[in-house]
Amino acid sequence: MSPIDIKVLSTTAMKTVFEELAPAFERATGNRLAVTLGPSLRLEKQLGEGEVADMAIVSASGARDLVASGKMVAGSIVDIAKSSIGVAVQKGAPKPDISSVESFKRAMLEAKSIACSKPVGGGQSGVHLAKVFEQLGIAEAMQTKAKYGAGGAAGLAGLVVLRGEADIGIQQMAELMAVDGIDVVGPLPPEIQMVTPFVAGIPTNASYAEAGKAVITFLTTPEAKRVLKAKGLEPA
């Protein structure tokens, strides 16, 4: 059989995982992975509007909605990984204390500028962060400091920090770890953390559903789990 291009839509949190694992998958199967990355909310909307893909990795809640609307095959959903939100700073910069909610709030107020995902149309972390700032009573103060990445692989908060346009970056841990040359401080305190479960599923309009399933199976192998962990995700 001649090689096929398997169309994958995936949350940006999986960027470095695919970079490492795709060559091994391609060697093992002879098929190529054509991966499109983006914020899960955006991908869920695209799939809901009928975008064609052979496999998709989105949030668990998004996958449930897609199954309910008949856009994703009900029995195809497999847990892949959980993702936490973290904080990063410029390489060698003093690391803020984020061990408690109070110290996190102080670090936010002391920072000159903060890179994060857009609260509307960006990633899950941007929506959550807007709520956290609201809860802590610092939403207004943070509005003037926020620098929003464009969403997707080119708009990583870590890149904004790397360019020196923000002192602190807040995004999914895996997305921060995808940027070389910045220091990851650690995850948000548990009380204000949001853990997003990411799942893989087969869209009902898949051209190569079986090949899509093979990618999902590959992502649950011990080797893939080792890579997920190394890239800042918690394997399912």
Give tens-digit pLDDT for 34-71: 999 998 889 999 999 999 999 999 999 999 999 999 99
What is the mean pLDDT of the segment spanning 203-213?
98
- Does 125 share its domain with 98? yes
In sequence order, which ranges of 69-204 are alpha helices (DSSP H)? 101-110, 124-135, 139-143, 157-162, 173-177
Domain count for the chain, please give it: 2
State how far the Cα of 111 lies from the Cα of 63, in Å rounded to an integer.
36
Whole domain around residue 55: which residue ranges? Answer: 5-82+196-235
What's the pLDDT score for residue 63?
A: 97
What is the mean pLDDT of the segment spanning 207-212?
97
Q: Is 152 left (phi over 0), alpha (psi -120 to 50) or beta?
A: left
State how far the Cα of 86 lies from the Cα of 170, in Å rounded to an integer.
6
Q: Tell me, what CATH number does 34's domain have?
A: 3.40.190.10
- Does 21 share its domain with 111? no
Beta strand 114-116 pairing with 168-172: parallel
Q: Strand pairing partners for 5? A: 32
pLDDT per residue over 119-165, tens digit each?
876 677 888 999 999 999 999 999 999 998 765 666 789 999 999 99
Which tokens is 167 given?
């002192």
What's the pLDDT score for residue 224?
A: 97
